[in-house]
Amino acid sequence: MKKVPLTDVPRLKQRIGETVRESLRVQEAFFSKHADTVLEAFALLRETVRKGGKILIAGNGGSAADAQHLAAELVNRYLRDRPPVPAVALTTDTSVLTSIANDSDFGHVFSRQVEALGKPGDLLVAITTSGNSPNILQAVRAARRIGISTLALTGGQGGAVCRLADLTLRVSDSSRTPRIQETLLLLEHVLCELLEAALFPRPCKRSPQNRNPRRTHGRKTP
């Protein structure tokens, strides 16, 4: 394949370096400031699962992708084989989402699912970089009415969700959506790692019919 010629390579490399350094700065600042709250969030997740509850996850756009990513890590595996953790991304059923949006209002696409699927003892993880997404706020309100605990993952000034959720983790060192999303994804991985180690200290063996020897953590081995 022929290389595509680039102009102003030094400037482009500088831009790459600046972007990476900014992302690392925001991530390091977040975990330095909020390590104790991260542990609170981990404890909330752990106790939810230990007591038989499930984790409902909601978000829009990139946060919807995060919701699905987090649910996959919990239901399947993060670093090793072990029993599944009950988790549902409320962003995946297009028939449910579009019927609610069409027949009612897009602001209810998550709250309606919380009402249908949630029960006291569950946990709603609400991901919103702005903290003001109307359908996320409605979902948190619905969860509170039912008796479902709520964990908000947000950024910038935090928005209205900070006043509604039981616990909030806010990426406060940037108002830029990409930097917030990158930090929240790392946070989600940290929580998965802590949760998996706490709930399943010893790796479990899968039965042969459930194992694909050519795959490790979603990627084909060479």
Query: b/e per residue, 194-205, with b = 16+ CB within 10 A?
Result: bbbeeebeeeee
Determine the Cα–Cα distance for residues 80 and 13; give it in Å rounded to an integer: 36
- What confidence tens digit (pLDDT) does each residue in 49-68 have? 999 999 999 999 999 999 99
- What confidence tens digit (pLDDT) does each residue in 25-44 have? 999 999 999 999 999 999 99
pTM of the shown model:
0.88
List, in sequence order, the alpha helices (H) in 51-158: 62-75, 94-103, 111-117, 134-146
Higher pLDDT, 135 or 210: 135
Determine the Cα–Cα distance for residues 208 and 129; give it in Å rounded to an integer: 41
**Percentage, residues of the chain above pLDDT 90:** 86
- What confidence tens digit (pLDDT) does each residue in 108-151 have? 999 999 999 999 999 999 999 999 999 999 999 999 999 999 99
Residue type, 190: V
Considering only CA atoms, which of 21, 24, 26 is closest in space to residue 170? 26
> Domains in the chain, start-ordered, CATH in brackets?
19-201 (3.40.50.10490)
Classified as helix, coil or strand, 213 is coil
Determine the Cα–Cα distance for residues 30 and 181; give it in Å rounded to an integer: 12
